[in-house]
Structure 1
Amino acid sequence: MAMSAGRLTTHVLDTANGHPARDMTIELLSGNGDPIRTVRTNADGRCDGPLLEGAALEAGAYELRFHVGDYFSGLDGTPAAFLDVVPVRFVVSDPEAHYHVPLLVSPFGYSTYRGS
């Protein structure tokens, strides 16, 4: 059986307002802090495509930086955010697998996990 090409995806949900976090900036960095790419979420709180896929997804450490402070400060009527940039550090051990890193966020707290 042929293995599928691996990929890295993310999804951001604004739990304070009950909808996807549209137009949030997300930075992807290598484990040593080198920038790989910067994207903005679409209307569904997702990126328009994988952050990395195929040969570009290598085994190793990565960091996603979610710019939640800027996102919440851009919403009308939302209280000032306590959080600024939420870093999520993770390790890709199998570059042939799908790594989905969702973020559930409010101005004052967040949760993340390895999704599917």
Structure 2
Amino acid sequence: MSSETAASTSVSTHILDTSVGRPAEGVALTLSVRSGSDADWTAHGASKTDADGRCKDLPALPEGTTHVRLDFEVEAYFCSKEPSTNKQAEEQQDAPRVRDSGAFFPEVAITFAVKPGEHYHVPLLLNPFGYSVYRGS
């Protein structure tokens, strides 16, 4: 595989906070890679989502990468929300009014397989009590 092909294998992501219908700004995430199902994970990049909930600055994947893991630190995001925002979110859903922490899922880890030369956009739809993920375009 040429280094030109490896450089074109890339990952991007964005997060939509579905509890308020807005992008989730400031969510820290790390990108890890491995070459083969039995290989150890290697940290490869880190970033935070921008005001549009997007993370466009993750590095290209190294040659030989077969799996990628995105680790999102969502608890800090939900804990940082102002009380008025949380109240608005609770009024929009049938959810418990009191939480033990900022999020039921404090971390979200998404693991997926990759092939050389492709771009992978992985959106995360997030709320305090659940999440969904898919391969976007």
Q: TM-score, normalised by structure 1?
A: 0.85
The list of structure 1 runs, each at least 4 consecutive aligned residues, that deviate by more than 4 angstroms after superposition, is: none
Identical amino acids, percent of aligned pairs: 39
5+ residue gaps in structure 1?
A: none
Amino acid at match of 1:33: W
- Aligned partner (choices 18, 23, 38) of residue 46 of structure 2: 38
Query: How far, CA to CA, are the matches of 2:29 and 2:68 in structure 1?
Result: 13
Query: Which of structures 1 and 2 has the bigger CA Rg?
Result: 2
TM-score by length of structure 2 reads 0.73
Check if 1:83 corresponds to 2:105. yes
* Worse-superposed segment, 97-106 or 70-79: 70-79
Which structure shows the bigger proportion of residues in strand conformation? 1
Q: Deviations over 1:56-82 (max 9, x none)?
A: 364311100011111111101235311
| Correspondence for 2:125 | 104
Residue 19 of structure 1 pairs with residue 10 of structure 2: no
Deviations 1:94-116 (A, max 9, x none): x2111001100001100001110
Q: What's the C-alpha RMSD, in Å, of the aligned pairs?
A: 2.0
Higher helix content, 1 or 2: 2
